[in-house]
Chain A
Amino acid sequence: MSLLQVNNLEVEFPLLSGKVKALKDISFSLDKGERIGIVGESGAGKSVTAFAILNLISKPGRITNGSIWFDGANLADMDRDQIRNIRGNKISMIFQDPMMTLNPVLTISTQMVECLQAHRNLPEAEAKKIAVEKLRAVQIPAPETRLDQYPHELSGGMRQRVVIAIALISDPALIIADEPTTALDVTIQAEILQLLLELCVNFNVGLILITHDLGVVSQVTQRTLVMYAGSIIEQGPTRELISSPLHPYTQGLIGALPEQTTPGSRLNQIPGVMPSLQDIPEGCAFHPRCTLAVAKCQHQIPELKGKTSRLCACHLVDDADA
């Protein structure tokens, strides 16, 4: 029985120029304690997927179809109080830039304790003790002194640790991390990722890690989804996906990594750019940039399918399998 089951999720943004589909028929699942990654370029729909789960999509966007099953209930159907019970409690989120995530005028203590007190009846002293515990778990030195400090008094890395501590504070079953290391110094990135990995393993917490960086998913996740222009185009165990990608887009992504290039030669690029959501081409969204495209790719949208745990949405892969 999976922890999270997303079925045929669709998200629309009604703009002045017309309705734009940010997510088209997204389906995936997550088991208890499993760590998956969602990769893709900016605008592919990764963050929208994350926000959709907790119904935090910025207006005027909304879920127009599909279901999100968690703990026996459909998150997409919930009313205000029900979803409030899930947020910060059973499912937590971590955002990208910890300086923007923490409220600058409130103390660390306030921002941690309120997360606990919003979901259970705890006296403040108790809640503070749990907060210190979690600060210790994320390896912040001298955790008691941090409680009365303000976000601007901490370094970038420490702030993100605090954010992770807040995410863990109610012992959630799942953490959704949206580009958690992108805004941090390169030297800190590895530390934070390692921390995240250890915490998830030790506390058996599920993780959805969203990033544009393949190196990051390879470090932390067990399974990876690749998104392009609002759809999932490939899925599979991370190690396999990176070592032998099926979809031409994924192949392009891996090929474009600097590690794959011999020093002195040009970097491999995928020609063109990902289309904006208002201008998605007919058929396979990737076909204008795909060097292997055939006639079928221009008219028919490929389905995400596969025989094993490797799923791929490409006609060529499909035909080869058959």
Chain B
Amino acid sequence: MFAFLLRRFGQAVIVMLVISLLSFSIQDQLGDPLRELVGQSVSEEIREQLRDKMGLNDPYLVQYWRFLKNALQGDLGTSYFFKRPALDVILDKLPATIDLVIAATFWILLFSIPVGIFAAIHPDHWFSKLALSLSILGISIPVFLTAIFLIYLFAVELGWLPSYGRGDTITLFSTWKTSLLTLDGLSHILLPSISLASVILPLFVRLIRSEMMEVLESEYIRFAWAKGLRRRRIWFLHSFKNTLLPVITVGGVQIGIMVAYTILTETVFQWPGMGFMFLEAINRVDTPLIVAYLIVVGLIFVVTNTVVDIIYGLVNPTVTLVGRPT
């Protein structure tokens, strides 16, 4: 296990370095920090002096090194718009996005697993066929359209649910604000989480169904039947555990897609999360915030991928996380 973690850590470090390099290059190209700080009427000489003092005329690698050093200490620059440290702004908005992702994942797991398994065991049942048709529909409707439709139906026409914002929040551990524990918060998160789930859920249903159908045709399942085991055991232990493996792998990739989709969803619902913040930062050319977002997202991404790999290694005994002598 230790060797595995060490190797993954090494890979993660390399990926983060690449991301930080790319982000820094963007920062270099985009926007002029001086303009944000000083304004138009300052003379050119004073500008040059300020540039020197701020180290903006230093060679590329020196600036990058400085950037890296600062980043490792938690200093990712100061947002032009908010006039606060970029990392603070992001950490402020992070809980909202996490709430959204948790809620969406809840819907995805709650529905895709039972529906996928059922559709695999009874492929000719009307429910399975319905589920499959709805799946194709779900994949074909882009996430932001689902969001718009839901808003139109439930907020504009029926007026049952709010169409924007997060609602009331409760503060946990004196820093983490979550809206999942208030009724008002729940009513606000319902539509956005369903929208976010709407594109990924059908993918999982189809994935679970097709993987499980393949597993059900395998020799070891036939052998399980030949042993006279109960159906439930064959379906939920023998079959499902094997189905889980490719699902975990693909699921890991979907997480990356989810992050991108939060940007779209948060924009439609004006959900005060990281994605919405990122889009506004782009529109305002708030470079430090853009760069900080990329680094934080890169980190989240790398960590999630590693966790998924570990989970996969734990579930699949043929993968040796621990050096097992054969």
Contacts and interface: CB of A to CB of B under 8 A. Distances in A.
B239 to A, nearest CB: 9
Given A93-B223, A100-B218, A105 B316 contact: yes
Contact of A105 (B217, B226, B228, B315): B315
B122 interface: no
Contacts of A150: 317-318
A186 to B, nearest CB: 22
Contacts of A100: 218-220
Interface in B10-63: none
B42 to A, nearest CB: 68
Contacts, number: 77
A93 B219 CA distance: 12
Interface string B219-238: 11011111111110100011
Interface in A80-98: 80, 84-89, 92-93, 95, 97
Given A101-B220, A104-B317, A166 B227 contact: yes
Contact of A104 (B220, B225, B226, B228): B220
A53 to B, nearest CB: 10
Contacts of B228: 84-89, 115, 118-119
Interface residues of B, number: 26
A115 B226 CA distance: 10
A56 interface: yes
A84 B230 contact: yes
B229 A88 contact: yes
Contact of A118 (B222, B229, B317, B326): B229
Nearest to A97: B219
B187 interface: no
Contact of B242 (A58, A89, A105, A114): A105
Given A88-B227, A105-B316, A114 B219 contact: no
B3 to A, nearest CB: 19
Q: Tell which of B218, B224, B233, B245 has the most Cβ of chain A within 10 Å.
A: B224
B72 to A, nearest CB: 41
State the main secondary structure of chain B at its contact with A: helix
Contacts of B218: 100
A217 B38 CA distance: 95
Interface-central residue, B218, B219, B220, B316, by most chain A CB under 10 Å: B220
A55 to B, nearest CB: 9
Interface core residue of B217, B223, B230, B241 (most chain A CB under 10 Å): B223
Contacts of B220: 100-104
Contacts of B242: 103-105
B324 interface: yes
A54 interface: yes
B233 A105 contact: no
Contacts of A89: 228
Contacts of A106: 237-238, 241
Contacts of A88: 226-229
B219 A56 contact: no
B227 A87 contact: yes
Chain B CB within 10 A, most for which of A80, A92, A104, A119: A104
A166 B228 CA distance: 12
Contacts of A115: 227-229
Contacts of B226: 54, 56, 87-88, 92-93, 95
Contacts of A166: 227
Interface string B195-226: 00000000000000000000001111011111
A153 interface: yes
B160 to A, nearest CB: 45
| Nearest 8 CB-CB pairings of A with B | A87-B228, A88-B228, A88-B227, A100-B219, A93-B226, A103-B220, A150-B317, A115-B227
Interface of B: 217-220, 222-231, 233, 237-238, 241-242, 245, 315-318, 324, 326
23 contacts: A54-B226, A56-B225, A56-B226, A58-B217, A84-B229, A84-B230, A87-B225, A87-B226, A87-B227, A88-B226, A89-B228, A97-B219, A100-B219, A103-B220, A103-B224, A105-B242, A105-B245, A106-B237, A114-B227, A118-B228, A118-B229, A119-B228, A152-B318
